[in-house]
Structure 1
């Protein structure tokens, strides 16, 4: 498979991430209709632990693999690439076996003492097979990223979600007569099946790309010992990344425990806690993360690009690429945030039939705008070799957020709103710390004028779109809320894109680089 440029690689991953987000969103709608808030809560209580288990088994190796494979590939050192894969597979397979054994033996104890609802045990056990599958997939993802070949990753992501969505409805419907806890476990099993298909795609594409010239078989610990230099290089990059991932995964895993205990102290019943947590994590969060697909693409492509510029000691290029990444993230994030805030009531009613979740979305959406800036800032820190700094920044922010959940959520006046405030404070703190660190290490200068133009265009878009929505809603009741909402959103997007062109934030030379459709779209924008 051919090596792809930064623009093409980012475009491929962006398209795949967009499709994936749509499929995830569809899946969340299906689950909300079949399981309800209570079933969603049972599933979401254990999902954060999946990320924690994956962090423990991969120990940051996917990022380290992509960096080392890129260097070895540039030096045409195929032997080193093979060593990297063998050692990485040996580590991840061994760790996944260990983690699976511990999880199986301690599943009942964990669900009984750490999760307030014992019914989550079935979902917790259903997630176990994903640990070894995801570990091996992570190694192959790192390899393809290092070779700057993003097509396999994009294909696997889409196939994984298609399989997941396809099996979710059938498994949940089949198991729901047995009880809501079994149906929630069925939703988790669909994720396992999707991950299994993703791994199969990676293996097939890896074999196709190398035919019989490149075989990685029977990874063993003695091979790790013989490749000490490669092992140390992997760990130097992987361990700080692991610390960062562990902080994030552990905080996500700890949040449901702290949230449920805090809400219980506020006098909220167990069933209501599960429903409120289900609304926040199953309804609000999927809507917030739906337009955040740009972050995933930027995070994957920006690290090697920054590493290359940093290796050349070209801080000017690092600054330029970071400003480009922040601009791209904000171009998507600003209008998304405004639309989610303005149409919170309509979206929650139409999509989930849960109007009670609308205030939660309106409260968290403005703070979540900063989340779009976190990925580019963190990617730069990793790219310039400051993964430890990123880890400590995340540690401080996540610990602060978790620590604030207890006093805020246990307050009967705040309840679930206290959880949102604590999470939002964590987002603000993490973004501020990343920004301060980037300024310190590369003397970063933010292009304030560009950010002001993007925010101004987004606010103008929101005002005009909402005015049209209100006018149509008052004039005619025949169209229905859903149709009027879609008209308002589409009009808002059209106005926003037009304003970006008029402000010269999007130019022909930016658009023409997009594969396949770039030349066609470029004619619509100024030079």
Structure 2
């Protein structure tokens, strides 16, 4: 029992460290885009966002997906087969990653022209080649992170290296953008500078990880395995598991990749006057989506260790209750963020980007805050239950539907059609995840009365915030400062009103409240594990 408590403490401590690091990285990732767009303009923002999904995939492979899978195999080999097997896992992980990342590198370098022809803008070819270099760092950083996490359950090197990489990256992007702004740089120069900064930053991450090795934090990381034969089944498992967890960690990237490959060509076919500028305006909306996903990612990171622990102890009823509560929280705050952002999309657009172009698109895509929150939370539940492939397949299906809807909607509705396609495709994925969890009896059905209470609270909050935003009171005028005040006060007031309505309508039951992590610290009685 004492050993179980120690292991549980390590799990929660590790989850907390990685969650804090992920929060910091995500906040930086969202914040730097505002000055970058202000410096580069909508076309410069479009250039960067077209190539960004290819960079983000490398980050997911090296920072989240493969380290998780490698650490799992190392932890199992350390407990069951001895230290020699740990080095074998690392060697096979390097082989798997060299194969995967080398393949992507070759495709991006040699296939840049055909790929950018599909994307509808061959000026992006040099940027794709620059982004390809990020993949050469992935095998080294992923194996080192996985070794630290699996050998001693040490999350500090991963967290510090991720933060260091992001700080270097953001500093390079903002610094180079400021220089180009002062010297009247072109849109593609801004994009090239941003991608170059992103390609250099992983070197800082790798250096930090090497410094942890030199300090002796993970002395066994360089051990050479005795058995030099290749286990192809292990390589296949590492490739599958790492790829699945990488995509699940950043579900939005898959939909952004579909947009990068299809939107410009479809806007050309729709005879839009300035397709690149229109795509840049459309990409603005994803900035706020990233902010909204921070809360959902934090919730997912916090529930997965707890659910995994309950699953190991076979506490089936408590698993369902905890998972259902997590889904209720995700629905509530995802819907609140979506409605609030949609209601003040105009002022928020002006606050961040100086004008309200694409406000309708902004309002539509705001509702992905709800769908993506549900996708992240439900995917975490599948992972905790040991079924990560199912949400991965649903996500791929959603991406395919997104492409079909882009083809159908963009010619008629321009970028608003692209936003609607994202909403509907992510809604399908979230619905399939939730339905599968119900069928597998991993969650309980949320009562209709609770959903009606949530809809009522969201409706009242949306109406109040929208009327406040339209009134321009008490700030008056339509300056950027006035719109900023309107947006901030509207968001804060809407949040307070929504929480008050949830409490008044009793959306969360007494049992729900007793299960919230904070209640234990407040001295409230928790229900016992059943």
TM-score, length-normalised on structure 2?
0.82
For structure 1, the 5+ residue unaligned runs are none
Q: CA deviation at 1:257?
A: 2.6
Query: 1:294 matched to which residue of 2?
Result: 295
Cα separation, 1, equivalents of 2:280 and 2:126: 17
Cα separation, 2, equivalents of 1:245 and 1:16: 14
Match of 1:106 among 107, 111, 123: 111
Cα separation, 2, equivalents of 1:259 and 1:40: 15
Query: 2:266 matched to which residue of 1?
Result: 262
Provide closer, same or farther for how the CA distance between residues 453 and 424 of structure 1 changes in structure 2, counting only shifts above 3 A: same
Superposed CA offset, 1:142-188 (max 9, x none): 44555654444443333333222211122234456563212211011
Query: 2:211 matched to which residue of 1?
Result: 204
Aligned to 2:297, the other structure's residue is in SS state helix
Contact 1:66-1:142 within 8 A present in 2 as well: yes
Provide closer, same or farther for how the CA distance between residues 382 and 345 of structure 1 changes in structure 2, counting only shifts above 3 A: same
Q: CA deviation at 1:421?
A: 1.7
Superposed CA offset, 1:403-423 (max 9, x none): 121121122xx1111111221
Query: 1:402 matched to which residue of 2?
Result: 403
Q: CA deviation at 1:344?
A: 0.7
Query: 2:341 matched to which residue of 1?
Result: 340
Provide closer, same or farther for how the CA distance between residues 367 and 61 of structure 1 changes in structure 2, counting only shifts above 3 A: closer
Contact 1:3-1:149 within 8 A present in 2 as well: no
Does residue 35 in structure 1 map to residue 35 in structure 2? no
Q: CA deviation at 1:258?
A: 1.7
Superposed CA offset, 1:428-457 (max 9, x none): 111111112212223531333665555555
Contact 1:263-1:273 within 8 A present in 2 as well: yes
Query: 2:3 matched to which residue of 1?
Result: none
Query: 1:417 matched to which residue of 2?
Result: 416
Contact 1:67-1:304 within 8 A present in 2 as well: no
Query: 1:486 matched to which residue of 2?
Result: 488
Within a 5 Å distance, the mapping from 1:321-332 to structure 2 comes to: 321-332=322-333
Query: 2:431 matched to which residue of 1?
Result: 432
When structure 1 is superposed on structure 2, of 260-269 and 222-231 the one drifting more is 222-231
Cα separation, 1, equivalents of 2:335 and 2:78: 38
When structure 1 is superposed on structure 2, of 416-425 and 326-335 the one drifting more is 326-335
Superposed CA offset, 1:338-374 (max 9, x none): 2211211001001111301211111122354121111
Query: 1:92 matched to which residue of 2?
Result: 97
Cα separation, 2, equivalents of 1:215 and 1:201: 15
Superposed CA offset, 1:38-86 (max 9, x none): 0111111122233456778999533422433444566695444443233
Provide closer, same or farther for how the CA distance between residues 425 and 476 of structure 1 changes in structure 2, counting only shifts above 3 A: closer
Does residue 214 in structure 1 map to residue 220 in structure 2? yes
Within a 5 Å distance, the mapping from 1:447-486 to structure 2 comes to: 447-448=446-447, 456-463=456-463, 473-474=473-474, 480-486=482-488
Query: 1:316 matched to which residue of 2?
Result: 317
Contact 2:368-2:422 within 8 A present in 1 as well: no
Contact 2:337-2:369 within 8 A present in 1 as well: no
Cα separation, 2, equivalents of 1:450 and 1:83: 51
When structure 1 is superposed on structure 2, of 495-504 and 323-332 the one drifting more is 495-504
Query: 1:276 matched to which residue of 2?
Result: 278
Query: 2:164 matched to which residue of 1?
Result: 159
Q: CA deviation at 1:398?
A: 1.3
Match of 1:190 among 172, 189, 197: 197
How many residue pairs were aligned? 511
Cα separation, 1, equivalents of 2:103 and 2:256: 22
Cα separation, 1, equivalents of 2:483 and 2:64: 48
Provide closer, same or farther for how the CA distance between residues 151 and 467 of structure 1 changes in structure 2, counting only shifts above 3 A: farther
Q: CA deviation at 1:377?
A: 1.5
Superposed CA offset, 1:234-281 (max 9, x none): 356446557879998666434323211111111113xx1111111122
Query: 2:28 matched to which residue of 1?
Result: 23
Q: CA deviation at 1:224?
A: 6.4
Cα separation, 2, equivalents of 1:74 and 1:498: 49
Query: 2:70 matched to which residue of 1?
Result: 65
Cα separation, 2, equivalents of 1:257 and 1:233: 29
Cα separation, 2, equivalents of 1:455 and 1:81: 51
Query: 1:382 matched to which residue of 2?
Result: 383
Contact 1:346-1:481 within 8 A present in 2 as well: yes
Contact 1:247-1:398 within 8 A present in 2 as well: no
Provide closer, same or farther for how the CA distance between residues 223 and 67 of structure 1 changes in structure 2, counting only shifts above 3 A: same
Superposed CA offset, 1:269-296 (max 9, x none): 3xx1111111122x11011111211333
Contact 2:323-2:442 within 8 A present in 1 as well: no
Cα separation, 1, equivalents of 2:335 and 2:430: 16
